[in-house]
Each structure stands twice: as structure tokens, then as C-alpha cells.
Amino acid sequence: PGAFRDYTTSKKVKDLVRELGWLDPQIPQSMYIFKQAKVGGEVTSHQDSTFLFTEPRQTCLGLWLALDDSTLENGCLWVRPGSHNEPVRRKFVRNPAHFGVEAIKSRSNKALGDTSQPQMVFEQLVEDADTVPWEGKLPEGSFPRCEGLFNNDFVPVECKSGDLLAFCGEIDHLSLPNCSDNQRHTFQLHLVDGPGAGILWSQSNWLQYPEDEEFLRI
């Protein structure tokens, strides 16, 4: 209960998600992002579906709610138009060496493997030729003057407090540090379609609920 759940389960959000074509929307993740004045850090280039992978197709939808005006100075979102047509380049998974194959198959969070191994690893999904050199980083020359972003076809998305940005999980996006005197806070929802739409949450995803629990449906 509370303001964030009220927003998440509101008629406006439900109507929007269905208008966008989601049939059985579920919410595996919500995030409140603090990008404080002067010290708020960068978020490197990524695709949300790397961390929220569904099968047999990708259905991640990000709803990015600006709680403050978002500007070039305080670290607004940058996106690369057209990248929504690109494949997901890598997947953040539970490491079989740490958890064991059987634990991953059963979606158990109990480690049955070698616990000295990393819990999570990135699994490469495309050939090197199909990836981008700034994966998990910022394009060279991105900060502080942004030339590297413009040179690699990124565009800034400045918006006002209360604006909502919606984008699919394949789109390449990032944000730069907040070097201004103004905070830039956001509340973000990540949704996926569920079994009612013929979609499954990947059993190797890093995030797994216990078997008797489900993601919040809206």
C-alpha cells in the first residue's frame, strides 16, 4: 500500500499498457532512481531486456516517470533511435556454476553449485559483429561535451516533471552524471507480458521469485 503502488495499479497505467498492446502485463521490477545534484552518477548504455528476458519473444516495457524536470544539465535520458529494431545483445543470468543446473531449472534461489563462483554473469547472445563497442559503457567522448553520443546517433530526451516516457526493452539508452545544482529523481516500472499472452519469464533470469509467488499483475 502507498503512493507508488497506487500509481502502479492505477487505471491510467493499466489503460496505457493495454493500449500499447500488452495482454497479460506483470511487473517484475520497480525502481526509484536518485540522481542527486552534483553527485548523481551515470547509467551506462544498456537494453532493459538484458535484465528482463522473456520467451519466445521480448516483451519488456519501461515506464519512466519524471519526478523532476529532466535536462541535459541534470542527467536526462539519452536514447538511440532505431535501436529498438536490434536484437538483445546479452542476457544477465544466474550462473549455473554457482547455483547448479537443477536450481536454475526449478527457479530455486538456493545455491547448489560452487558458491565461490559469481552468482550472476552476462551471457552473450549475438556475434561480436552485431554488438556495439559501448555495451555496458558510455560511447567514447560522451562526457562532458556529449560529442560521442551525438556521433553515435544518441539523442537527449529532456522532459518535465510528471512526464512519462514509454519504451521497449530493446532500445539502447543511458544517462550522464548530474553536474547541476538540481536533483533528477524518477520512478520506473518494468513490465513484461505473462502466460496469458503466451509469454514466459526466462528460467535463467537473474531475478526469480519463489515458486509460490507471482509478479504483480495489473
Yes or no: say if 27 and 13 are a contact pair by the CB < 8 Å rule. no
Look at residue 127 in the predicted model and tell me its pLDDT. 87
* Sequence-distant (≥ 6) Cβ neighbours of residue 159 within 8 angstroms: 66, 69, 70, 76, 77, 165
Look at residue 144 in the predicted model and tell me its pLDDT. 85
Distance CA 76, CA 22 (A): 27
* Sequence-distant (≥ 6) Cβ neighbours of residue 119 within 8 angstroms: 94, 95, 98, 99, 111
Look at residue 113 in the predicted model and tell me its pLDDT. 95
State the pTM of this model. 0.94
Look at residue 129 in the predicted model and tell me its pLDDT. 64
Look at residue 212 in the predicted model and tell me its pLDDT. 81
Yes or no: say if 24 and 217 are a contact pair by the CB < 8 Å rule. yes
Yes or no: say if 140 and 134 are a contact pair by the CB < 8 Å rule. yes
Which portions of the chain are predicted below pLDDT 50? none
46 phi, psi to nearest 5 deg: -165, 165
Look at residue 128 in the predicted model and tell me its pLDDT. 77
